[in-house]
Amino acid sequence: MNAPPYGEYAQVVIDEGIKVVETAGNSPGPVIKQLKAAGIIILHKCTTIRHAASAIKLGVDFLSIDGFECAGHVGETDITNFILLSKARQKLGVPFIASGGFADGQGLAAALALGACGINMGTRFMCTVEAPIHHNIKQAIVDADETDTELVLRRWRNTSRLFKNKVSVAAVKIEKESTTGKFEEVAPYVSGKRGREVFLNGDKDFGVWTAGQVIGLIHDIPTCNELITRIEIEAVESMDASRKLYEPIGEGGNKQGYNKLPSKL
């Protein structure tokens, strides 16, 4: 509703000596040019391969490929990471990480297998001891299922995935039933100011706030160190298990066959 002064933000980034910046949005050209002139490494977040290709032409260094599962702005194409990541592997000539739907080592292993260099986790890090948000919100994430999100503002092609609460449900109802289609009708419900207060007062129904479908995979509130250590172990174990499924069978290099998938699968 009130566009931030992105150019001014970028200048503060430059003045503070920050070396790596994530950008997003359909028209990031001016900010990318400003940051690149200062020698800053840029990660650009995209929800389509077309936008990713455009960002590469603008000079970004690497990409975050954002699947439909993600929190916040999901784009308008509804393409999930299984397709997006594989397409990125096929079409893009720069490194990329996977974003949207990741919370554990199995997800990391899958992302690496699909061609990503790593994963980006937003909702999962919200639910850690160090996250500077109210404990009640972290507990709401733990208690939620993957179905507890809402897609809001689709009518205005500014679709955002938000936590399903009283405010987001009311916003969707107005959006679907409005006869005028005026944004002003839903604006008070999607106020970022109200959403920010949620993280301070701990009332999950006070305003709208972003959460991805990955909430269905989050079941605890670990420290960041515990989370990263666990993810690393899970990823290694997952990849080792996959290798063992196809290890050659036989002695002395006589490859007579390969292990098969467990019968229960």
Every domain of the chain and the residues it spans: 1-121+222-248+261-265, 134-220
pLDDT at 173 over 80: yes
pLDDT confidence of 263, banded at 50, 70, 90?
very low
What is the average per-residue pLDDT within 145-156?
A: 97
Rounded average pLDDT over 207-232 = 98
CA 225, 44, 64, 42 dihedral sign is: negative
pTM summary value: 0.88
- The Cα-based distances of 189 to 148, 158, 168 in angstroms read 18, 15, 7
Q: Is the pLDDT of residue 190 over 50?
A: yes
Read off the pLDDT of residues 31-68 as tens digits, 9 standing for 90 and up. 999 999 999 999 999 999 999 999 999 999 999 999 99
Residue 264's pLDDT is 44
More confident residue, 1 or 127: 127
Q: How far is residue 249's CA from residue 57's CA, in Å, rounded to a whole number?
A: 48
* Inter-residue contact 80 to 111 (CB < 8 Å): no
Q: Residue 17: which pLDDT band, with cuts at 50, 70 and 90? A: very high
Q: What is the pLDDT of residue 247?
A: 67
How far is 153 from 186, CA to CA, in rounded Å? 9
Looking at residue 261, its pLDDT comes to 47
Pairing of β 257-258 and β 119-120: unpaired
Query: HEC profile for 188-252?
Result: HHHCHHHHHHHHHHCCCCCCCCECCHHHHHCCCCCCHHHHHHHHHHHHHHHHHHHHHHCCEECCC
Given this model, what pLDDT does residue 250 score? 57
CATH label, 1-121+222-248+261-265, candidates 3.40.640.10, 3.20.20.70, 3.30.2290.10, 1.20.1070.10: 3.20.20.70
Residue 15: the pLDDT is 98
CA trace torsion 138, 139, 143, 145 (10° rounding): -10
79-114, pLDDT tens digit by residue?
Answer: 999 999 999 999 998 999 999 999 999 999 999 999
What is the CA 249 to chain-centroid distance, rounded? 40
b/e code 100-128 from CB counts within 10 Å (16+ = b) = bbbbbbbbbbbbbebbbebbbbbbbebbb
Average pLDDT, rounded, for the chain: 92
